[in-house]
Amino acid sequence: MKTQQILTVASKGFILLSALGLLSVSTMAFADPQAVMDLVNVKLTNTDAFSSIRGVYGGVGLTLFISLIYLMLRDTQKGLVFLCLLWGFYALSRTVTIFAEGSLGSFGNQWLVTESVLFVLAVVLAFACSRPALTGKAN
């Protein structure tokens, strides 16, 4: 029973941490899209560019935040699987960039490591929470 409680708290905490991280970027994108792009030294030069950053980082980020909070409260296991996909594909996209365009800068490398660690953590938690012996659920 104690292991189940620890896994539940760790899983919900991980989902919440991920959701808050996405919310912080989303809030920044809504308030100042250029601030998001300054992280990668890109200048937004027209209203369509500002709109796109608000939409992708702001709107989609807010959608991800709300979805993760819902999953944290309603179905933690699905929230963990969702984060496996999210962090895994973020890391994959950076890896594809390395092969397609060349080495990443310090920002990209830092986030490749961060997203890879978050992916592994999501996989470990999802696997641990799905084991009947640990959760007390029968398959």
**Residue 41 vs residues 37, 38, 60, 107, 114: alpha-carbon distances, Å:** 6, 5, 22, 10, 20
What's this model's pTM, rounded to 2 decimal places? 0.90
Domain that holds residue 67: 2-135
Give me the pLDDT at residue 1, please. 65
* pLDDT at residue 104 is higher than 80: yes
Per-residue pLDDT reduced to its tens digit, 56-90: 999 999 999 999 999 999 999 999 999 999 999 99
Give me the pLDDT at residue 131, please. 75
DSSP 19-46: HHHHHHHHHHHHH-HHHHHHTTT----S
Residue 81 tokens read as 């699987």
Q: Nearest 5°: phi and psi at 122?
A: -60, -45
Number of compact structural domains in the chain: 1
Give me the pLDDT at residue 139, please. 42
